[in-house]
Structure 1
Amino acid sequence: MNTPTKRWMESQVFLAGLSCLFFAGVCMLASNVLGVPDRATPLWTFCVIQIAPITALGILFGKLTDIRDIDGLTRTERRRLESLVNSKIRQLIFLIAFHVVAGLILALALYGASFGRPAVAYAFTLAGALIGLSVYFTVSAYVDVKHIAAFKTKIADRTREAKARASVMAKLIGKRDAPKA
């Protein structure tokens, strides 16, 4: 049975794998090009790559905590939104830890490169795959947070429309009850 959800999951796995392969290839190529231990220092830039996703995840984390405080929700909507936000917060915490682990593996690979260890190329490839996976997860978390923010906007629009209707009704009722001159 080929449902839309199954196809969506398969495409997500494919994109994650593609991201892993791309970044693993980039790191492997960089380790081959900069194979001399003295020239391995520029690979610290791959550790710096980790700073950008962690910063992005921190910003997304802040947005998620702001989304919780929405007035005008029904009980069901509040539960649904809280469930979405809690699951995304757990995912973001996991992703930050994942980024840190990828950075540590890369740092250890760089340390091994300074001593000319033969397994360094595999460590660079593993670190590249982790970086690729973390980049994919960061982009996916960003898209999910955008969906949650759209839900917040929808609720805010509904609240604004309700206030506008109430204002119009108050004016109409006020005109009806006004004394005639």
Structure 2
Amino acid sequence: MAAGEPMTEGAQQVTAYVAIGANVGDAQSAVRQAMKDLGRLPLSRVARRSSLYRTAPVARSSAGSADGPDYINAVVALHTRLPALELLDQLQALELASGRERPYPDAPRTLDLDLLLYGDAYIDSPRLSVPHPRMGQRAFVLVPLAEMAPELISEEQLHAVAGQAIERLADGAS
């Protein structure tokens, strides 16, 4: 199934991995709610979910800076029949419904949903790049992803982000 094809009931199911993050308001509740909301997307169901993790804000580039409170992060494996661009639209609609604003790059977020992987697809379009181009630079993506799907992450990738502080939260921790 190519990105952008119309949604059909007979479309092939793929496993998509979605990173979830929040650092505004009750971030832990926002991440947990996003996990539930992802399971309610059309033609989709949550197959697995990682633990919750706490991380400091990370800038997109070494030249930038990120501010705000710590993030709560997780990754979800989503079985879906939605085409990749339609899934992206659904993720952005969930962000908007949570009050997400984009005043400047790396701004604090009520909810951030990133499509990391979409089956084994490679997508490079103006709206979507999969695999996510910065996922290999981020402990808050690689560590939860490795928890759920260790076959997708190499030791070298984990070693490359070993200097980034990340704390796994116990269930119910804040």
The TM tier, using the shorter chain, reads: under 0.3
Q: Normalization by structure 1: what TM-score?
A: 0.22
**TM-score, scaled to structure 2:** 0.22
More helix by share: 1
Bigger strand share? 2
State the structure with bigger RCO (CA 8 A, min sep 6), 1 or 2.
1
